[in-house]
A and B are shown apart, each in its own frame.
Chain A
């Protein structure tokens, strides 16, 4: 680990010590897992509570990962049901969907922190997240959620390097945003569509693919495989099509350029057009 990263980790630990005790918005992914570990080391396990919000948008594989990580690290872990699917702005799935989701999550975590005597709420945002389109970050600001990694200047590569140095199994885990992020903007969010995506991705995982997305475009599934896995995808196209159809899709497409982070954000200028056409 470089001296620069080491310094930044110490800065993040200092931010956590300023917080005194923390509730962490904890998905079990690489970012929030690192924050949980840093918080445990900086504050002691008794001053840290990792909270995972559960809804149909959170896949079972992610729930299991969050539980396993917290148990392995000796960090108190709480799962709560969240109701973002009852928010019209979230269901509408325009460019602000993440804002509506986080507007459900952060006040809930703030209430838990107040009731249980924790001083602060923190998340796992890193520097790179600030460069991407992240309307959820606005909700974090509105609810005074702190971001120790981003505030300390740690980017995604730094998160992975630090996690590896600390021996965390999450260090090379693929990014795992919520299932709603697979729905093209303007395609309304429903439990059924989220289930189709989850089943389709479970199917691809069972075939041995590691990094991918099944994008739901309303009338079809568009499969993005990480470029190193694209040749294997071509060779196993029939199996992919079968797995995704079994999940509930009638039409399956394989993206020729493969997985790229935030691919659906490329369509944001079309949101207004699409929103009026998709039931």
Chain B
């Protein structure tokens, strides 16, 4: 799984088709297996409702980015 494999674009399309108000998405984690949705925390319930379908795109975990710009190391 790599950033250019289309998973992110498909995840964004799925999220938007379900009415989620999001700023973007990225793959996180050393294995790239976490979908990080860039959105307000208030969107958690909406993202959760389609989490199984998002995981089907090739992610193990679906999460919302809490603040910041999605960059930085642990």
- Is B31's CB under 8 angstroms from A277's CB? yes
Indicate whether A217 sits within 8 Å of B64 (C-beta atoms), given known contacts A237-B41, A253-B34.
no
User: With A218-B30, A234-B41, A267-B33 given, can you name 13 additional A-B contacts, CB distance below 8 Å?
Assistant: A193-B74, A217-B28, A217-B29, A217-B31, A217-B34, A250-B68, A250-B71, A251-B28, A253-B34, A253-B36, A256-B51, A267-B60, A270-B33
Inter-subunit contact A238/B67 (CB<8 Å): yes
| Pair B64/A274 contact, Cβ less than 8 Å | no
- Indicate with 1 or 0, residue by residue over B33-62, a CB within 8 angstroms of chain A CB atoms: 110110001101101100100000000111
Contact in complex: B51, A251 (CB < 8 Å):
no
List of A residues within 8 angstroms of B41 by Cβ: 233-234, 237, 254
- Residues of A participating in the B interface, judged by any CB pair closer than 8 Å: 184, 186-187, 193, 196, 216-223, 230, 233-234, 237-238, 240-241, 244, 248-257, 263, 266-267, 270, 273-274, 277-278
If the complex has contacts A196-B74, A219-B74, are A237 and B66 also in contact, measured as CB distance less than 8 A?
Answer: yes
The answer to whether B30 touches A234, judged by C-beta atoms less than 8 angstroms apart, is no
Main secondary structure of the interface of A (DSSP, over half): mixed
Contact of B28 among A220, A233, A238, A240 (CB under 8 A): A220
Known A222-B63, A253-B64: A270·B73 in contact at CB below 8 Å = no
- The CA-CA distance from A193 to B67 in the complex, in Å, is 22
Rounded to whole Å, the gap between the CB of B22 and the closest CB of chain A is 12
Docked complex Cα distance between A249 and B60 (Å): 21
Q: Is B72 an interface residue (CB 8 A)?
A: yes
Q: Which residue of B lies closest to A263 (CB)?
A: B61
